[in-house]
Structure 1
């Protein structure tokens, strides 16, 4: 495991696969840590075929993937727009007896938002909360971005209020999303109020915000 993980971190994926094959030939049984290194590197390369091959081998040996494995695979498919596959692996998390965490939920929510599937994103967000999984700033920003892209500023403002009421501190990306959304709809007063709020709370402003 140490050797394979080291090769993975140094980007020597082909050599890591060779060591893995040698490991199997010697009669040693790989565990989730072994497979995780291979999966993460295959995901990094965007090789969906190799990812599914590794995952299939993993399951055939009754090795239960951990949440890091699932999040890496889901992220690969969600980024490429293959939400059916991402959802398939999301359901596999539960089938494996694991509890989806914030990262797992946010990956799929982001995939839905990028495709403009706001209803599905909000439905998953509601499921997330029902399961007792708290949203963080990244999750809120993901949905806010999706809402603003669809020009759903009323819903975005409502979600922003919920975020602050839950005690989460917005970052520069949060407010830049909302400012941009209001500007594009001509709501300059709302945009300036948000800009003023950023300065009052000493949130670091970047070039994107000023633009």
Structure 2
């Protein structure tokens, strides 16, 4: 290679964005969790690129960081990092933080700010994130007002507001099984937003989530009578509905119907059927469907493997489940929280504690950060089986990763440690949560207070009371 080519290659390499390492994300998440608001002084020193934003927001969400910190972080990136700017997924993640805290006003203010500065970040996905939470916690008229406000925000950005955004509103109602309200919205607004295939599939999803198979079938046949052509998504929704009701063989007939109508099954279709075979405790059929994916030209993804894992654990075939876990790692598919949670549930259900401890060690060796439900399951098993030491180890591991576990995990850990005389360590865990401005539960407070009083540690009892009063004075109502 001559000098010019070498220089060009070096230039190309340096222009490629360097993805942040897991260690960098862990370190910055811990700094943010420990730092008081505002975050700007910290971020000016340590936040060097918007490439950090997506993994950092995910880590903060898993660690139950304050929503205001996520908002502060996104605003900082929006104003200081333009090459590249924040991604649309970062906007969705920030809205996840805010809507989980039920801070809907700040959510819409953020959307309006983005509409003025970076309108390209607006899409149906962040709107769907916001509406899905709003519909869950706000009355019907407020949801419609929020949709109107979103339409004005899109107009401010000079963007079209059409069927995809309308589908996001319908899906928010349907995901809660509130079909009657979804149909009311459809009747009220369909003349402004002409429905497409996704609209009708979304309504069908609502019937599935409500669990009414008869209503689902009636609506489906009504769709056919109006000239609707079912696609792979339509069939997948119906298959899932039958599987969840234990009607696995009816679901298989739908697969045959798809083939006859030249509607090609997808990976999601086959994964749904594998899960359905697990529900009826038929792991042999689940494995056959899994192997059949290759014959259909489909490559099993992590979801397919997780569905097969579930089929094995339901029938206590934990040996096959662990072999499948090894296969996933050997093929580079990687394990996610669903993989670990599924197996932990299997070991717990059948009281295979040796396997439970080994899987926990394996997870820690892989440097994996579990999500809330897995942390809760681990903490419960540890404390119920006299292994509060492992609970404390998990707590410290999560804190070192920049995550503050959910306050219900703290309930279990404080109780487990105090009952074994480790009151000082329970007190330090309580303080770690309080120092991050997260509000521990009243239960954890009362348990710890009682044990401290028994030990005559009155200074700590008083300090504990001041901490709780200070946090509750500034905590959002949702806490």
TM class, shorter-length: 0.7 to 0.9
- The answer to whether the Cα contact below 8 Å between 2:213 and 2:241 also exists between their aligned partners in 1 is yes
Shift of 1:162: 0.7
CA distance in 2: counterparts of 1:70 and 1:16, whole angstroms: 22
Runs of 4+ in 1 over 6 A off after TM superposition: 16-19
Indicate yes or no: 2:179 matched with 1:48.
Answer: yes
Residue of structure 1 in register with 2:256 after alignment: 126
Unmatched runs of 5 consecutive residues or more in structure 1: 20-31
Larger Rg: 2
Report the TM-score, using the length of structure 2 for normalisation.
0.35
Deviations 1:75-130 (A, max 9, x none): 11111101112112222232222211111111111111111111211111211121
Deviations 1:46-94 (A, max 9, x none): 54223334556789x8x98421121111111111101112112222232
Structure 1 residues 88 and 182: alpha-carbon distance in aligned structure 2, compared to 1, 3 A threshold: same
Give the root-mean-square deviation of aligned CA atoms.
3.3
Residue of structure 2 in register with 1:201 after alignment: 331
- The answer to whether the Cα contact below 8 Å between 1:67 and 1:93 also exists between their aligned partners in 2 is no
- The answer to whether the Cα contact below 8 Å between 1:144 and 1:178 also exists between their aligned partners in 2 is yes
CA distance in 1: counterparts of 2:177 and 2:143, whole angstroms: 13
Residue of structure 2 in register with 1:168 after alignment: 298
CA distance in 2: counterparts of 1:88 and 1:64, whole angstroms: 22
- The answer to whether the Cα contact below 8 Å between 1:70 and 1:90 also exists between their aligned partners in 2 is no
Deviations 1:121-180 (A, max 9, x none): 111121112111111121111111111121111211111111122222212232222233
The correspondence for 2:228, drawn from 98, 106, 114, is 98
Residue of structure 2 in register with 1:77 after alignment: 207
Unmatched runs of 5 consecutive residues or more in structure 2: 1-122, 132-141, 150-161, 345-479
CA distance in 2: counterparts of 1:17 and 1:181, whole angstroms: 41
